[in-house]
């Protein structure tokens, strides 16, 4: 509308004020439209967050996947629930080559992907390629769950990556894994709403302040983000 009115040399002052703009002193003027849009966004977020399940529902769903021998789905849900991973973190290559995992653990630049390396009793999980890697660096974890280890070995019998194209069984780019992961989650919730559920559980079911801080710190490290961002962006009690 602004472009059309300007083309025909019609006044646009009221439209600009309604939309909101910066004056010569860099101060925000007007902005009723922005406020209305933001209010709708906040209201929608609050309403959506009311529908979040209990964390235990996600855990039950996850272990039922294992019992159903849906091992890829189980691995993905396990990492989303217990590590708060983003979609990109899950673009993982399986390796049985000890040299590969040794090199990537040594902070060399030879291997820069995300890797899973199973041993006889635990799994090495190394995440190099994720959203905030430039800030938080390499993420390294040892997963000791026997169910997780067994699921990894089962999947490695058939494929070399955790996530492949469901039809063609070919590699998937970071940009293409989001929909695949969402389809594997509980009620197709997706990664972001999983993490909101986890954070909501911390505030709802852990009243001890020290315990709550420790859990937030844990997920801060496994996800690769600061506690302040977790609280402001994923805590459902803060509608912003």
Q: What is the pLDDT of residues 110-126, one digit of tens each?
A: 788 999 999 999 999 99
Give the dihedral of Cα atoms 56, 57, 58, 59; nearest 10 deg.
50
Confidence band for 193, pLDDT divided at 50, 70 and 90 = very high
pLDDT at 238 over 50: no
Q: What pLDDT does 111 receive?
A: 80
Mean per-residue pLDDT over the chain, rounded = 85
pLDDT at 35 over 80: no
| Beta carbons within 10 angstroms of residue 165's beta carbon | 12
Inter-residue contact 56 to 68 (CB < 8 Å): no
Confidence band for 166, pLDDT divided at 50, 70 and 90 = confident
Tell which phi-psi region holds residue 84, choosing left (phi > 0), alpha (psi between -120 and 50) or beta. left
């Amino acid at each position: 509308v602004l472009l059309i009115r300007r083309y025909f040399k019609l006044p646009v002052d009221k439209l600009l004020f309604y939309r909101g703009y910066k004056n010569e002193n860099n101060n925000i003027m007007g902005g009723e439209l922005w406020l209305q849009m933001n209010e709708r966004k906040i209201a929608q977020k609050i309403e959506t967050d009311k529908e979040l399940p209990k964390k235990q529902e996600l855990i039950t769903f996850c272990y039922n996947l294992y019992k159903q021998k849906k091992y890829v789905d189980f691995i993905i849900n396990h990492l989303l629930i217990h590590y708060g991973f983003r979609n990109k973190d899950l673009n993982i290559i399986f390796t049985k080559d000890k040299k590969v995992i040794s090199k990537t653990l040594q902070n060399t630049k030879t291997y820069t992907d995300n890797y899973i390396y199973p041993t006889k009793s635990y799994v090495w999980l190394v995440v190099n390629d994720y959203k905030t890697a430039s800030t938080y660096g390499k993420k390294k974890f040892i997963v000791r769950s026997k169910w997780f280890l067994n699921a990894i070995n089962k999947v490695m019998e058939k494929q070399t990556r955790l996530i492949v194209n469901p039809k063609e069984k070919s590699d998937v780019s970071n940009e293409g894994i989001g929909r695949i992961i969402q389809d594997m989650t509980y009620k197709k919730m997706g990664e972001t709403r999983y993490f909101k559920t986890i954070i909501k559980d911390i505030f709802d079911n852990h009243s001890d302040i020290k315990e709550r801080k420790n859990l937030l710190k844990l997920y801060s490290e496994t996800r690769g983000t600061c506690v302040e961002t977790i609280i402001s962006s994923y805590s459902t009690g803060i509608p912003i």
